[in-house]
Amino acid sequence: MFQMAELCKLIILLYIIYIAFKSHSNIKYGGTITMRWIPLITILSLGIILSGCGKDPEEVVEPAGVLIVLNKSDDTAYILDRETGEHLASVQTGYQPHEVAVSPDGKTAVITNYGTRNEPGNSLTVVDVKRAERVKNISLDEHTMPHGIQFLDDDRVIVTTEGNQTVVIVNLERETIEQVYMTEQRVSHMVAATPEGRRAFVPNIGSGNVTVLDLDAGIVETHIQTGEGAEGIAISPDGSEVWVTNRGANTVSIINTATLEIESELASPEFPIRAAFSPDGRHVLVTNARSGDITVFDAVNRVRVGVIRLDEIDELVEDDDRYFIDQFEGSPIPIGIVVGPDNRTAYVANTAADVVAVLDILTLAVLDLYRTGAQPDGIAWTHVRPEM
C-alpha cells in the first residue's frame, strides 16, 4: 500500500509528464489518443490521493486482536475480542492467577499462578493463543508466589517470586530455571526489563524501593528508594526510563535507566497500583485503586493530562475475600491496565466489578464495559486470535 508521501510524488511526476507532452505536442508518441488519456490519468490519480486524505495509516493496518484477562477467583484466563468484548474462549489456569505476559510473536501467553498467602502457588501456565489451550504448567519448585512477569526473548521469561524474595529467569522450552536473583527485599512484586534485556527493575512493596538487576552480569546491582508501597512499574518503549507507582505515598517516581537517578516525582492519588505506557511512548496511564480512577500523564513533558473516572461502573461485587474490597468501599478497584496498538484506547480490569473498562485516552472517556470472570486483574493484548 502506498504511503501518502509516495502518492504525492507519483501525482507530481504524472503532472510533469502531462505538461511535457502538452508543451511538445509535435512529438509523436502514441498519437492524439495518448494525449487525451494523460489528463484523465492525472485527474484519476488526484482523486485517489484526495480520497485517502485524512485517513490515519495506523488505523488502516492496526490489528484487532484479543485481550487476555485473568480472573483470580475463577482460576481462568478469558480471551476477549479487543474491539467488541465478545468472549471467545476460556483457559484453565493454576490457583489464583495474577499476571500475564505475551511473547514477542504474540502466539504464547504465560501466566503466573500466585495462589494466596495461606496457599502459595509456584507455577506458570503456558497458553497457545491460536488454539486457546493450556499447553503446559511449569513448576518453579521452591520459588513461590510468582507474580510479575515479562518476556526477555522468544523462549525466556523473568518472574518475581514473592514467597522467598527472589526473581527467576525461566526457559519455557526446557522448563527450567536458568538464573535466580535474591532481592532480599519485602514483597518483590512486579518486574520491567529494558528492551535489549540488559537490566531489570523490581518494585518492592514492603521495602518502598526498586531493585535493579544487571542481567548481563547476573547480579543485583542496587536498590533505589522511591516511596512507600512501591508496586506498579512500566518501562518506556525506548527503555530510557521506568515509572514506579508508590501506592502508600500516592506518587509516581520516574527513574533514568542509564544513570539510575530519580528524575521526577508526580502525584497520583489515591493508591496508585499499576502503570502502562502507550506503545508510542507519549502517555502513561496509572490506575488508582482507592479513588477508582485512572490518571493520564503526558510522558514526554511529565505532566498530568487529566483523570478518567469510572462512574459508568454502577454495579460492584460484595465479596470481602477479594483484595482491597473491604478497604476501598465504593471503588471498582481498577488494577491491571494495557494500552492498545492505536495508542489511544486503554483497557483496565476492575476487580470489584468484574468488568474491563475501555478508555479513550484523548477524550478521557469510558467507551465500553466488557464482562469478565470473577475478580479480573492481570491483562494483556495480542494481535493473534484463536482459530475458532
Q: 17-26, 118-127, 183-192, 345-354: lowest mean pLDDT where?
A: 17-26
Residue 38 predicted with pLDDT over 70: no
Segment holding 41, helix H or strand E: helix 31-52
Amino acid letter for position 270:
E
Please classify residue 261 by burial: count the beta carbons closer than 10 Å to its beta carbon, then call 0-12 exposed, 13-18 middle and 19+ buried.
Answer: exposed
Residue 30: band (very low, low, confident or very high) from pLDDT cuts 50, 70, 90: very low
CA 258/CA 240 separation, integer angstroms: 7
**pLDDT: is 40 or 120 the higher one?**
120
The answer, yes or no, to whether the previous bond of 261 is cis (omega within 30 of 0) is no
Report pLDDT for 63: 66
CA distance to 189, 242, 334, per residue, from 245 (Å): 12, 10, 14
Residue 326 predicted with pLDDT over 90: no
pLDDT in tens, 48-88: 444 444 444 344 445 689 999 999 999 999 999 999 999 99
Contact 190, 203 (CB under 8 A): yes
| Residue closest to 107 by CA, chosen among 138, 69, 133, 76 | 133
Mean pLDDT of the chain: 88
Q: 250 forms bridges with which residues in the sheet?
A: none
**Residue 6, φ and ψ in degrees, nearest 5:** -65, -40
Q: 101 forms bridges with which residues in the sheet?
A: 110
Residue 128 predicted with pLDDT over 80: yes
Contact 386, 66 (CB under 8 A): yes
And the C-alpha cell for 317?
Answer: 461485587
Amino acid letter for position 239:
G
Contacts of 362 (CB under 8 A, 6+ apart): 344
Contact 220, 179 (CB under 8 A): no
**Residue 194, φ and ψ in degrees, nearest 5:** -65, 155
User: 345-350 and 355-360 as β-strands: parallel, antiparallel, unpaired?
Assistant: antiparallel
Percent of the chain with pLDDT strictly greater than 90: 80
Give mean pLDDT, residues 200-223: 98
Residue 386: band (very low, low, confident or very high) from pLDDT cuts 50, 70, 90: very high
And the C-alpha cell for 23?
Answer: 508543451
And the C-alpha cell for 333?
Answer: 478497584
CA 119/CA 115 separation, integer angstroms: 6
Contact 205, 223 (CB under 8 A): no
Give mean pLDDT, residues 125-148: 97
Residue 23 predicted with pLDDT over 60: no
Residue 138 predicted with pLDDT over 50: yes
CA distance to 15, 245, 278, per residue, from 202 (Å): 59, 12, 20
First-residue to last-residue Cα distance in the chain: 29
CA 362/CA 243 separation, integer angstroms: 20
74: helix, coil or strand? coil
